[in-house]
Amino acid sequence: MPIREENGFAFSAEETLKLITPQTRLLILNSPANPTGGVTPKAEVDKLVAGLGEMARTSRSCPTRSTTTWSMTARRMSAC
């Protein structure tokens, strides 16, 4: 997942969602990003979580496990 200086060394939810394919099995978010120390704003993380949820709702297939959960602090979203 690319981080760019023009985004304050934070990831872009839109760009990240475009990189996800049916072969994607794991997405690890690291914020603050090393070695830049860039912190992704919560609003951008929320966009990513919403986009992942939409992908899961519109997908015809589900990951190999019956349930996948994305967790952002106290917020949980079931993918399938």
11: exposed, middle or buried (Cβ count in 10 Å: 0-12, 13-18, 19+) = buried
Rounded Cα–Cα distance for residues 48 and 80 (Å): 16
Contact 49, 77 (CB under 8 A): yes
**pTM assigned to the model:** 0.67
pLDDT tens digits for the chain (80 residues)?
778 888 888 999 999 999 998 888 888 888 887 888 889 999 999 999 999 988 888 765 544 443 444 444 434 444 44
Rounded Cα–Cα distance for residues 58 and 13 (Å): 18
